């Protein structure tokens, strides 16, 4: 048996196993508990999972590249970077805005970031971790999204960005927030972890949430719209922000080579750094 034959036999057995022993749900009974979120999958997902394991590529590889490309295409953005969680996605999105490559617009320690007073901790924790100052704005009821009427009062000479989540799939007032950010030269990060696929009409055009601000983030934790088990993504249309995002994600690496490839630029060994 060749390696190809062995792989096909394993994956065929995996498909049969999933079809036989998974997703065999009994008929619904009155009074039965209905979870608000659950795993939705079939043999295709299980086969892909085992296929990835057989390949045994332990860093980002073929599946990561496919995921980034297809998610960017779905969202209609140019760049997408896969990460290990939605929390890391928020941290990465914020840290990208601290890059010296952004000049005077970079966020520095002590700068202020407007955010919402009621939401998930990881929308706020990157601001605190870096040493910037979160400025909390209350929500409206029953929307539970930011009260945009309070934005001007939250503004100060130290304000550099607005970082907000769309609550439980319901977009915040993007028109008002985007206009506010544009007027005052502020970055806008959309925490899109609860709202992947939500549509917002802006300037007569329907757009997906997460693509209207400068940077959007998603989470693929099991209770969200789709899951990778754990996982998240950061996406943007801005090539400079993408460069910052990739460099921070890859611990300062400033290179376009995909994982497993080297020296695509042909200049890896043609410079002298100090006495090395």
pLDDT given for residue 20 in this prediction: 93
Nearby residues of 158 by Cβ (< 8 Å), 6 or more positions away: 110, 111, 112, 133
124-141, pLDDT tens digit by residue?
Answer: 999 999 999 999 999 999
On the question of pLDDT at 37 being above 80, the answer is no
275 has pLDDT over 70: yes
**What positions carry a catalytic annotation?**
224
pLDDT value at 276 more than 70: no
pTM: 0.90
pLDDT per residue as tens digits for the range 187-207: 999 999 999 999 999 989 999
Residues 20, 23, 27, 31, CA torsion sign: positive
């Amino acid at each position: 048996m060749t390696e190809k034959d062995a792989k096909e036999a394993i994956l065929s057995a995996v498909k049969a196993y999933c079809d036989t022993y998974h997703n065999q749900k009994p008929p619904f009974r009155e009074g039965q508990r209905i979870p608000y979120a659950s795993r939705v999958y079939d043999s295709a997902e299980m086969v892909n999972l085992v296929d990835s394991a057989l390949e045994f590529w332990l860093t980002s590889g073929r599946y990561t590249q496919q995921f980034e490309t297809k998610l960017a295409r779905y969202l209609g953005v140019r760049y997408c970077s896969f990460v290990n969680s939605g929390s890391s996605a928020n941290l990465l999105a914020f840290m990208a805005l601290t890059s010296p490559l952004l000049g005077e617009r970079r966020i520095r320690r002590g700068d202020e970031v407007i955010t919402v007073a009621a939401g998930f901790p990881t929308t706020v924790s990157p601001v605190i971790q870096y040493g910037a100052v979160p400025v909390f704005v209350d929500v409206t009821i029953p929307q539970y999204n930011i009260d945009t009427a309070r934005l001007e009062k939250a503004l100060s000479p130290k304000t550099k960005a607005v970082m907000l989540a769309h609550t439980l799939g319901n977009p915040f007032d993007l028109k008002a927030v985007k206009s506010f950010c544009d007027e005052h030269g502020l970055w806008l990060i959309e925490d899109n972890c609860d709202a992947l696929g939500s549509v917002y009409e802006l300037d007569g055009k329907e757009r997906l949430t997460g693509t209207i601000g400068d940077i959007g983030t998603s989470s693929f934790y099991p209770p969200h719209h789709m899951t990778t088990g754990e996982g998240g993504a950061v996406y943007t249309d801005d090539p400079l922000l993408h460069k910052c995002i990739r460099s921070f994600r890859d611990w300062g690496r400033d290179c376009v080579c995909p994982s497993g490839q080297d020296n695509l630029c042909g200049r890896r060994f043609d410079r002298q750094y100090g006495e090395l």
